[in-house]
């Protein structure tokens, strides 16, 4: 009886481990969908480190902004924001939610952070050159009509 229980426990633990450790069977992808309709526009395999960024031209200062993210444990964490000029909606100090540091380097303000993002919704507009960067690739988010897009981490089949 004791051997049977140990065997059942081993099978249950193995099943739970396989369920919780999706990286054994899949690799994370970044899905881009229309928001709120959830119509999928594309899936892009994330690089091994899970790092990606979004760039755009700020609507008030008309200067480049880049938001840096990393997929960690199937969640999106914002790790930094880089910009040249302060403007509406940009961080203004080290007391920003999730901020871990602040610097000014080579004419750019950089706020370092560990900010979990529950839903990453991006409003695109051709005038602001919205781009997704990951693994040396640049994806033009303005290739689709101006709209709200949701970016989410989803499993994709490993190559």
Domain positions in the chain? 27-157
Q: pLDDT tens for residues 91-124? A: 766 778 889 999 999 999 999 999 999 999 999 9
What's the Cα-to-Cα distance from 71 to each of 10, 51, 95, rounded to whole Å?
30, 6, 24
pLDDT recorded at residue 156: 86
Q: Which pTM was predicted?
A: 0.80
pLDDT recorded at residue 85: 83
Q: Output DSSP code: residue 90.
A: S
Q: pLDDT tens for residues 19-31? A: 344 444 578 999 9
Listed in sequence order, the DSSP H helices in 1-149 are: 2-20
């Amino acid at each position: 009886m004791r051997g049977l229980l140990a065997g059942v426990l081993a099978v249950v633990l193995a099943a739970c481990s396989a369920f919780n450790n999706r990286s054994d069977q899949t690799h994370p992808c970044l899905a881009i969908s229309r928001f709120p309709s959830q119509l999928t526009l594309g899936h892009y395999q994330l690089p091994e480190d899970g790092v990606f960024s979004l760039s755009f031209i700020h609507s008030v200062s008309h200067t480049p902004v880049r938001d840096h993210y990393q997929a960690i444990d199937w969640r999106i964490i914002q790790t930094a924001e880089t910009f040249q000029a302060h403007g509406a909606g940009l961080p203004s100090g080290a007391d920003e939610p999730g901020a871990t540091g602040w610097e000014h380097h080579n004419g750019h303000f950089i706020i370092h952070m560990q900010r979990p993002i529950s839903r990453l919704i991006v409003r695109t507009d051709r005038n602001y050159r919205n781009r997704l960067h990951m693994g040396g690739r640049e994806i033009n988010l303005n290739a689709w009509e101006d709209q709200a897009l949701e970016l989410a981490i989803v499993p994709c089949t490993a190559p």
